[in-house]
Amino acid sequence: MKTIATTTWALAGATALLLAAPGIAAAAGAQHELYPEQYDATEHFDAGDGPCVPWAGSFHEVREGGYRLVAGPGGQVPGEVHVNGAIDGLVELTPDDPSLPTYRGTYREKVNAVATGFTEDGDDILRVGQYRLRTTLRGSDGSTILLTLAGKTTLNANGRVVVERDDLTCS
């Protein structure tokens, strides 16, 4: 499911705005930015590989919203950036077999993170980050699927990952 990757890439791009910005000095005060996100993509999945359904089909997701970023003096790590986001989205699961139901639902994803820099390959380094979304997908046949997606990353003072999880549940 693209939501996990989308959230991670959006955080990396948003964080880059402030970490790369000149003038984040202790005397400069907090720097605030808004990083918008717009995403619309469809991907095919094989039977057994899709989120929440056993059949082959396509996953369509539309995301729109933004992340508020604050880089302020006096953080635990020099140059850290606080990220808070709210993304509105739409998810559609469409089967290859037209006799099966199509599922559709909207969601609001919440994202909170503290980033401290970048790795050599350009990924942001999250000291702590978490996101959560929950949606009821309604089927064209009247059935429903409750989809919940949540993730968390936490590093200790030595830079070691102590918590890293991405959970997708369907019921």
- Residue 50 belongs to some domain of the structure: yes
CA distances from residue 142 to 26, 63, 104, 105, 139 in whole angstroms, order as listed:
57, 25, 11, 13, 5
Cα 134 from Cα 71, distance rounded (Å): 29
Put simply, whether the predicted model's pTM sits higher than 0.85 gets the answer no
Q: How many structural domains are present in the chain?
A: 1
Q: In what order do the strands lie in the sheet with 31-45?
A: 31-45, 57-71, 81-95, 103-118, 124-139, 144-155, 161-170
> Does some domain include residue 38?
yes
Spatial separation of the C-alpha atoms in residues 35 and 71, rounded to whole Å: 13
Q: What is the 3-state secondary structure (H, E, C) of 59-79?
A: EEEEEEEEEEEEECCCCCCCC
89 part of a folded domain = yes
Rg (CA), the chain: 18
Residue range 23-74, pLDDT digits in tens: 444 445 778 888 899 999 999 999 999 999 999 999 999 999 999 988 877 6
**35 part of a folded domain:** yes
Residue numbers of the domain that contains 143: 31-170
Does a structural domain hold residue 16? no
The token pair at 73 is 């003096």
